Amino acid sequence: MKNAHRCLLAVAILLAASCATEPPLDPDKKSYYADVEFTVGRDGKTTDAKIISSDAPKSMQNAAIEEVLRYRAEPAAEPTKGRRRIEMLMD
């Protein structure tokens, strides 16, 4: 029974950690980046966007993915992989 309680406690700790808020942005940092990989489909729509590398907080990474998913390209004969660096400048 003790093992079951330890297991539940471990799960609770992991869930709490995943729900934690992001640390504040660095006030001295003037820009962040997110390298996003994606697929351009036969219809020109982008799909399967994911972060390859980034120094941005998670919320900015999510915004970069959303931006890439809004892209539209010329239709092609076959789906094509692409990468794009999204730079975010701070005021």
- Rg (alpha carbons) of the chain, rounded to whole number: 19
- In 1-91, where do the E strands start and end? 31-40, 46-54, 80-89
50-81 confidence digits (pLDDT tens): 999 999 999 999 999 999 999 999 888 999 99
Residue 21 corresponds to which tokens in the numbers above? Answer: 């808020």
pLDDT of residue 60: 94
Nearest-angstrom CA–CA distance, 35 and 69? 13
pLDDT of residue 20: 52
Q: Which pTM was predicted?
A: 0.69
Domains of the chain: 30-91 (3.30.2420.10)
Contact present, 64 and 86 (Cβ < 8 Å): yes
Looking at per-residue pLDDT, the higher value among 12 and 23 belongs to: 23
Share of the chain above pLDDT 90, in %: 58
